[in-house]
Every structure is written in C-alpha cells, then in structure tokens.
C-alpha cells in the first residue's frame, strides 16, 4: 500500500510523538506476516525508550536509547497501517499483529489484513546481512542518486521503464502509483524499454522522481483505501493524480481518455496521446 511518501509521512508523524516514550509491553498476534515476528521481540523491547524513527526504502526503522545497537524494523506491505493512539483501545481489532504500549498509556498498533507486512528486530551489525536489506537500490533523495546514476541504471536494460522504476533493487521507494505519475509527467510510454530512454528523458525522469515524491510528502501521501498517517489522518496527494486510478477519465492535459494496461500483474495508467510509444510515429 504505501510507497516512499506514505512511509516517510508516517515516520515524520511518529518521531516527535513517540521519541522518549518507554515501552511498557509488547503484544504480537502470533500470525505469520511476510516472516514470523520473533517471539523474543516482546522481551527485547520491554522497558526501552524510543530514541529515533527514520525511513529506509519502504521500511520504518526505530532506535532505542538503552540499546543503540538494536533496530525495530517495520514494513507495511500492501495493507498495513501503523497508528499511534493517544488513548489505549478498549478492544483490539482483527488483524492487529503488533501492539506496543508505552509508559504514558499510549499505544502504537500495526494492523495488516493481508499480512504482506513485516516486523522484526536487528542488531546494527546484522543490518547488511539481513536478507531484505541486501539488495536495496539507491534512495531517491540521496546524493548518489543523480542523473548519471539513473542513466547507468537504465542503460542496456531490456525491461520496460515502468517496472524498472519500481524495481527496489535499483531504486527504492517508487511503487505503482508514483511510477505511473512519473511517466505521465515526463510524457514517456510505460512499455518502452529502459534502454530506449534518451539522455534528455533520463534528466526529465530524474527531476520528476524528486518533485513528485516531494510533493506527495508535502501532501501527507496518497489515501485510497488503507493508508492513513500515524495519527489516523488521511493524505491528500490522490487529488493530484493525473493518471493513477483514472481509467476512462479525461487526461488533465489533452482530455483524451486515460488507459489502463497490466504490466507484471500490476495496473499501469497512462495517456496514449501524451505518452506515445514511438515519438517518430505518434498514434
């Protein structure tokens, strides 16, 4: 469900609220998420104070004051919500898989119906060995992610540009919504091979990735079905969508109908008039 802007929004919302709070108890549902939640997590986190909250790729990372080596790692998958409750719930909901109670009687709850999410803990020195962190690509907002790096990523790649942008072993954080939006903004057809992208287009894509992700963060992310911010509020970037989830509606630029196709089992939305496959032979 959440892409980089949504995870970033959750981290920013959580950080000022929970930093300094002491963990009073941890409960786990016992159901397997992407991987099982380690049972030791309840004992390991207990009585420790939150030191920091930050994002890596689409993972939420939480650090502790008493144990600077320890990292709590949370991924929301497709349907996960991570919500901070100022008042403890009288009754927990179905699919609440991970519940932290703090010493001021507030609660942090991960609810995830589809269970594609993940909760685990790591020692800092184990981080690079952690299976899911080994193959993470570049952070869009890092210095390493410049036009030259993007050009290198796309070079010689036969895969279509849309799935290339979504490939987290190359670039992290771009998911199904923002990939379509980035390609609309740059007027690039989603089925074009990554290798066919020209230097001028690489520059445009690089710029579009940064501006669209930035704008989405400013809007507090996009709320369609499941996603909410850490305080339960919804984001508003869905009102700025040009193509995503707009099949059959009018293109915001040329008024022709937005088309939906399927690439690697995921929906892609685009305007066939604004985003032509072959610029030499439009239409």
Active site residues: 2-3, 58, 266
Work out whether 175 is an interface residue with DNA (CB under 7 A). yes
Assign 127 to helix, strand or coil.
helix
Distance of CA 2 to the CA centre of its chain: 4
Spatial distance between the Cα atoms of 185 and 207, rounded to a whole number of angstroms? 10
Residue 140 makes contact with DNA by CB under 7 A? no
Cβ atoms of residues 83 and 92 within 8 Å: no
2 is a contact residue toward DNA (CB under 7 A): yes
Beta carbon of residue 177, minimum distance to DNA (angstroms, whole number): 5
Contact between 135 and DNA per CB under 7 A: yes
Q: Decide: is 115 part of the binding site for DNA (CB under 7 A).
A: yes
- Count of residues near DNA by CB under 7 A: 45
Asked if 19 is part of the footprint of DNA (rule: CB under 7 A), the reply reads: no
d(CA 253, CA 270): 12
Phi, psi of 180 (to 5 degrees): -65, -40
Per-residue x/- mask for DNA, residues 187 to 206, rule CB under 7 A?
Answer: -------x------------
Cβ at position 101, least distance to DNA in Å: 24
Binding string, 263-282, against DNA, x = CB under 7 A? -xxxx---------------
Which of 24, 38, 61, 132 contacts DNA by CB under 7 A?
132
The reply on whether position 222 binds DNA by CB under 7 A is yes
Closer Cβ to DNA, 23 or 83, answer by number: 83
Q: CA 23 to CA 96: how far, in whole Å? A: 18
Alpha helices in the chain (DSSP H): 4-18, 41-45, 131-134, 147-154, 161-166, 176-185, 199-218
Check if the beta carbon of residue 164 is closer than 8 Å to that of residue 194. Answer: yes
Q: How far is CA 275 from CA 36, 84, 154, 181, 257, in A?
A: 43, 41, 18, 11, 12
Q: Of residues 242-261, which lie at the interface with DNA (CB under 7 A)?
A: none
Q: Phi and psi of 58, rounded to 5°?
A: -105, 20
**Residue placing its CB nearer to DNA in the complex, 234 or 254:** 234
Residue 47 beta carbon to DNA: minimum distance, rounded to whole angstroms: 31
Residues from 45 through 64 that contact DNA (CB under 7 A): 57-58
Question: Helices 199-218 & 176-185, crossing angle to 10 degrees?
Answer: 130
Q: Is 42 in the site for DNA (CB under 7 A)?
A: no
Nearer to DNA, 161 or 274 (CB): 161
Q: Is 116 in the site for DNA (CB under 7 A)?
A: yes
Q: How far apart are CA 107 and CA 8, in angstroms?
A: 20
Which residues contact DNA (rule: CB under 7 A)? Answer: 1-3, 6, 32, 34, 57-58, 75, 77-79, 94-95, 113-116, 131-132, 135, 157-160, 163, 166, 168-169, 172, 175-177, 194, 221-227, 264-267
């Amino acid at each position: 469900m959440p892409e980089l802007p949504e995870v970033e929004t959750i981290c920013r919302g959580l950080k000022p609220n929970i930093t300094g709070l002491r963990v009073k108890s941890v409960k786990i549902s016992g159901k397997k998420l992407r991987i099982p939640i380690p049972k030791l997590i309840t004992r390991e986190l207990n009585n420790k104070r939150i030191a920091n909250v930050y994002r890596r790729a689409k993972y939420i990372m939480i650090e502790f004051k008493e144990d600077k080596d320890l990292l709590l790692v949370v991924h929301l998958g497709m349907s996960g919500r991570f919500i901070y409750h100022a008042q403890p719930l009288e009754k927990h909901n179905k699919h609440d898989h991970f519940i932290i109670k703090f010493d001021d009687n507030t609660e942090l709850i991960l609810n995830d119906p589809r269970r594609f999410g993940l909760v685990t803990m790591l020692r800092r020195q184990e981080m690079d060995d952690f299976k899911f962190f080994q193959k993470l690509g570049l952070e869009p907002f890092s210095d390493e992610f410049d036009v030259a790096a993007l050009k290198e990523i796309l070079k010689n790649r036969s895969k279509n540009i849309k799935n290339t942008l979504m490939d987290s072993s190359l670039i992290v954080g771009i998911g199904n919504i923002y990939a379509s939006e980035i390609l609309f903004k740059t007027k690039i057809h989603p089925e074009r091979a990554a290798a066919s992208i020209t230097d001028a287009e690489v520059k445009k894509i690089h710029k579009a990735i940064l501006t669209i992700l930035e704008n989405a963060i400013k809007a507090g992310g996009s709320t369609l079905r499941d996603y909410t911010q850490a305080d339960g509020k919804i984001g508003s970037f869905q009102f700025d969508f040009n193509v995503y989830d707009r099949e059959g509606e009018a293109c915001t630029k040329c008024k022709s109908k937005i088309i939906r196709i399927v690439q690697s089992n995921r929906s892609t939305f685009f305007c066939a008039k604004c985003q032509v496959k072959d610029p030499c032979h439009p239409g």
